[in-house]
Structure 1
Amino acid sequence: MNQSSPEQPFQVSYISQAIHDWVSRLGSAWVEGELTSYDIRGGHAYAKIRDLEQDASLSIVMWRSVRERLTEEFRKGDRVIINAKPDVWVKGGSLSLQVYDMRHVGLGTLLEQLERLRRKLADEGLFDASRKRRLPFLPNKIGLVTGRDSDAEKDVRRNSELRWPAVQFRTEYARVQGDNAAAEVLAAMQRLDADPEVDVIIIARGGGDFLHLLPFSDETLVRAAAAITTPLVSAIGHEADRPILDEVADLRASTPTDAAKRVVPDVAEQLDLVTQLRARIRRHVTELVRVESRRFEDLRSRPALANPSWIIDQRGDEVGRLATRGSELMDWHLRRASDEVSGLGHRLAALSPLGTLQRGYAIVERVDGAAPGLVTTTSGVEAGAKLNIRVTDGRIEATVE
């Protein structure tokens, strides 16, 4: 490299090209690490590989021709070995490894730990659908846990207020990446859960790579999220390798914007729905009145209601005939009963002792104290006995001589 001076400094492009030329002379090497990101764009693979023991990482690029030649599929979190050559992008001044071969070593250490934790929590039932709580239709106040001045906060608030301008928030700020992120998110979530005015809690973050999202798979945070009583929405904004918090939350939103749409109803949509329902009720009531009116007119047109007096005339004649018939039957029954009474009277008179007396017979009774009673023989009386002789029209008192 030529000498430079304040009077003759190098241009940035010269230095960048010099670094590129120097790095290009380095040979390829086999490197082991863990993929912390892995994206396919235009057939090419762009990723980051992390040292398994030290906190160091490098960007890697694998062109389509190389990727299509591989027989294995790769994803973020995989532990791999790569055959790569260092390369410097002159225009951007960034160092990356150009990959010529990639092979699996095994599941990444972090991902393996997360999978064990995920299975453990699932076995305990923390992911069961029966534990999921229904979100309120229109929350009185929304609790929001997010980073300070974050795009996630702006997305949630803006989309919520567009849907329902009167929506209220209580925001608790916390770190959303780094060593203390899980503890701060947990404390903020519990403060909101203790507020009786907060009806639902949203934990929002605008996505990120695998390492940045690790706090949202922290076991202490996940267990605390499962224990709160307020419905919880996880809006971490990451589709692949979902954080474990997504599994225990009552609702998982794909992005902070999606969380706002799922939690806050659209006032315009609700007003339109109310209008539609009112129109349906009006049509239903109108149709009901029309049907009942037609039924009422049908009833009015029937003879019984069109000319009510006909039934009185018709029934009056019938009542007259029945009254005459009843009188005739009553007279017949009375005559028959009278004849029966007369016959019974004659029979009674024939059987009565008076009938015998009328034929000249008499009933003789002894009335003194010796032997009172009916006298049927001459031996039943002696001289001086007092008798009572009953005839048809009275009694005769006599004494035997």
Structure 2
Amino acid sequence: MSATAGNDSSPETPWSLRKLSESLDVYINRLGSVWIDAEITQWGVSGGHVYGRVKDPEEDVTVDITIWRSTREKIPDGVGHGDRVLLKVKPNWYVRGGKLSMNVLDMRLAGLGELLAKIEALRLALAAEGLFDPERKNAPPFLPRCVGLVTARDSDAEKDVLHNATARWPEVQFQVEHASVQGDRAVPEIIAAVDRLEASAVDVIVIARGGGDFQHLLPFSDEVLLRRVAALDIPVISAIGHEADKPLLDDVADVRASTPTDAAKRVVPDVAEERLRLTDARSRLTQRVANLIDGERQRLDMMRQRPVLAMPLTVVDRHAEDVLRLVQRGVDVTDTLLSLQGSRLESLRASVRALSPQATLDRGYAIVHKASGELVSSPQSVTKGDALRLRVKDGDIAAEVTDS
């Protein structure tokens, strides 16, 4: 179809939308293919084709690109988000959809894009400072009293976190602080939200966003935000929800969740699972106590079956016989000892009697004493007229010396 300058249209004879779209298609096809310098901000594969978006490295201008399966072999290996590339593109206008895209005919890798290079440099600097070290990370509490949530107002990320966390633990409490999650206002608003949550003394903070283009995720790699999060004593869960382009917040945060839904699973336990664990623990404890009681009952039964408990008087009788035997033995030994000592006593008595002065007196001898009691053993020890006392067998006899 040939296009004119449009002088054949008027309020009386307007073009149809189809005619306008077909005219645009003619004009755009005349451009042919061109080489452009661009930075990849979105990259996805579906059905063997690649659908993405690129931006001008210097200006805020973006266009969609399509790489058909037939030209995939011209794409350098490993190319993806953030790469700066040289593209040979042919503009393509979809008449029915009224949409412009660029079919990529050839691609050459021009190196990392400027934004990705800056982020990589910041990553290395923060890693060297130790902000990514596992030792400095704080584990979230098992069951937080209050969870702080930073996310966009009325966002799917907010709904996912609140719904899934409440489903897992119905009593969980949230303090939600809304902030922009993309654009120039994102960083100051997220920092302000974090400040409010820190002042409220929440137990854990979740920063959530439902994914997005590489360019949209740039605030979550901002150095000011990263250092603010690193300075928090409260555990932080990063739930940006973008696997391919991991922002630096994922490295600085204490826990990285792959999606907002994953963050909900990490921030609170599952009440159903905890009940099952309690039931299992109670069951195992009950079984262990039952086993312990059964074991002690068996030991008690075994002790009851022992002869000493089955017939306790047997032990008493046996010891009673031993006591009687020992008593009789004691009596016998005592009698023997008394008899021996009696015989010995009689022998000693006889010896004493044989040596006693009385025995001498019994044979008719006498013992002479002076009146003073002095023993007279010689006639020279007395003089005439001395009073004497003679002791004989049956008594004493008074005497006087008549002849010295």
Question: Is 1:99 aligned to residue 104 of structure 2?
Answer: yes
Give the stretch that moved more between structures: 205-214 or 315-324: 315-324
Question: Is 1:77 aligned to residue 91 of structure 2?
Answer: no
The answer (yes or no) to whether the contact 2:76–2:109 under 8 Å persists in 1 is no
Cα offset for 1:271?
2.4
Question: Is 1:28 aligned to residue 64 of structure 2?
Answer: no
Structure 2 residue matching 1:106: 3-state secondary structure? strand
Cα offset for 1:212?
0.8
Question: Is 1:239 aligned to residue 239 of structure 2?
Answer: no
Structure 2 residue matching 1:143: 3-state secondary structure? strand
Question: Is 1:110 aligned to residue 103 of structure 2?
Answer: no
Please give the alpha-carbon distance, in whole angstroms, between the structure 2 residues aligned to 1:392 and 1:57. Answer: 163
> Which among 184, 192, 199 is matched to residue 187 of structure 1?
192
Please name the residue that 1:298 is paired with: 302
Please name the residue that 2:211 is paired with: 207
Please give the alpha-carbon distance, in whole angstroms, between the structure 2 residues aligned to 1:99 and 1:342. Answer: 145
Question: Is 1:155 aligned to residue 160 of structure 2?
Answer: yes
CA spacing shift, 1:311–1:218, aligned 2, 3 Å:
same
Please give the alpha-carbon distance, in whole angstroms, between the structure 2 residues aligned to 1:239 and 1:205. Answer: 12
Q: Which residue identity lines up with residue 219 of structure 1 in the other structure?
A: E
> Which among 275, 278, 291 is matched to residue 274 of structure 1?
278
Please give the alpha-carbon distance, in whole angstroms, between the structure 2 residues aligned to 1:392 and 1:236. Answer: 141
Structure 2 residue matching 1:15: 3-state secondary structure? helix
> Which among 137, 142, 145 is matched to residue 142 of structure 2?
137
Please name the residue that 1:388 is paired with: none
Cα offset for 1:339?
6.5
CA spacing shift, 1:97–1:317, aligned 2, 3 Å:
same
Please give the alpha-carbon distance, in whole angstroms, between the structure 1 residues aligned to 2:266 and 2:392. Answer: 121
Please name the residue that 2:127 is paired with: 122
The answer (yes or no) to whether the contact 2:76–2:107 under 8 Å persists in 1 is no
Structure 1 length as normaliser, TM-score?
A: 0.83
Structure 1 residue matching 2:31: 3-state secondary structure? coil
Once the two structures are aligned, what percentage of the paired residues are identical? 48
Structure 2 residue matching 1:259: 3-state secondary structure? helix
Structure 2 residue matching 1:96: 3-state secondary structure? strand
Please name the residue that 1:374 is paired with: none
Question: Is 1:322 aligned to residue 322 of structure 2?
Answer: no
The answer (yes or no) to whether the contact 1:72–1:103 under 8 Å persists in 2 is no
Q: Which residue identity lines up with residue 28 of structure 1 in the other structure?
A: S
Question: Is 1:253 aligned to residue 280 of structure 2?
Answer: no
Please name the residue that 2:176 is paired with: 171
Structure 2 length as normaliser, TM-score?
A: 0.83
Where does structure 2 lack aligned partners over 5 or more consecutive residues? 373-380, 384-390, 394-403
The answer (yes or no) to whether the contact 1:354–1:392 under 8 Å persists in 2 is no
Where does structure 1 lack aligned partners over 5 or more consecutive residues? 368-380, 384-390, 394-400
Query: Alpha-carbon deviations, 1:141-171, whole Å to 9, x = none?
Result: 1111111111111111111222222221111
CA spacing shift, 1:392–1:114, aligned 2, 3 Å:
farther
Please give the alpha-carbon distance, in whole angstroms, between the structure 1 residues aligned to 2:392 and 2:20. Answer: 172
The answer (yes or no) to whether the contact 1:151–1:206 under 8 Å persists in 2 is yes
Please give the alpha-carbon distance, in whole angstroms, between the structure 1 residues aligned to 2:158 and 2:204. Answer: 15
Give the stretch that moved more between structures: 208-217 or 46-55: 46-55
The answer (yes or no) to whether the contact 2:220–2:247 under 8 Å persists in 1 is yes
Please name the residue that 2:223 is paired with: 219
Please name the residue that 1:398 is paired with: none
CA spacing shift, 1:315–1:221, aligned 2, 3 Å:
same
